[in-house]
Amino acid sequence: MTAEDLIERMQELRMYVCISLPTDGGYRTESVELEHLIEFVERSHKHIAALYGINEQQYRKFLESKGIVRCTAICQDGRDCGNSVAECWAADEWVQMQGKFCAQHRRRETRRRKRHEQAQTEAVQPETDPPFPSGVLNS
Ligand SMILES: [Zn+2]
């Protein structure tokens, strides 16, 4: 029996095929149309990525990482930190977590960002003249 014959027979028997996708809270089930089954299996990364709402390259990187999100901070010696930030079960969650820092760098980055924002606020702060010449209100 060829694959095409099998699919035709499955359609006659009203059989259907589902794929179980890990989500951050368990699993989500998506059905795969029988007429697209061969294409789905042959280009599974592309189709699974689409079900997650991400692109194929992101899905491949997720698989390579085994779901581990790495810290993207640069250490003082110039190396990438690479500490594990989280372990994601779902590919879309893994994509959303990219760019996050480990506990150690989160504190440092927050401080640096605050200093940066403060410096920008001070830079754009217009020179404000007091509403009255000093001494007027207190006299
Ligand atoms: Zn780090």
- Alpha carbon of 82 to ligand 1 centroid (Å): 6
Q: What is the mean pLDDT of residues 96-102?
A: 94
pLDDT at 88: 95
Percentage of the chain lying above the pLDDT 70 cut: 88
Q: What is the pLDDT averaged over residues 13-30?
A: 94
pLDDT at position 117 is 84
Q: How far apart are CA 51 and CA 54, in angstroms?
A: 8
- Sign of the Cα torsion 32, 38, 41, 45 reads negative
Spacing, Cα 115 to ligand 1 middle (Å) = 19
Is the model's pLDDT at 131 over the cut of 70?
no
Torsion of CA 37, 43, 45, 51, to 10 degrees: -40
Among 3-17, 66-80, 102-116, the least confident range: 102-116
Tell how far the Cα of 64 is from the centroid of ligand 1, in angstroms: 20
Mean pLDDT over 64-90 rounds to: 93
Q: What's residue 40's pLDDT?
A: 97
Q: How far is the CA of 22 from the centre of ligand 1 (A)?
A: 27
- Ligand 1 mean position, distance from CA 98 (Å): 13
Residue 139, pLDDT > 50, answer no
Residue 75, pLDDT above cutoff 50: yes
Q: How many angstroms separate the alpha carbon of residue 105 from the centre of ligand 1?
A: 5
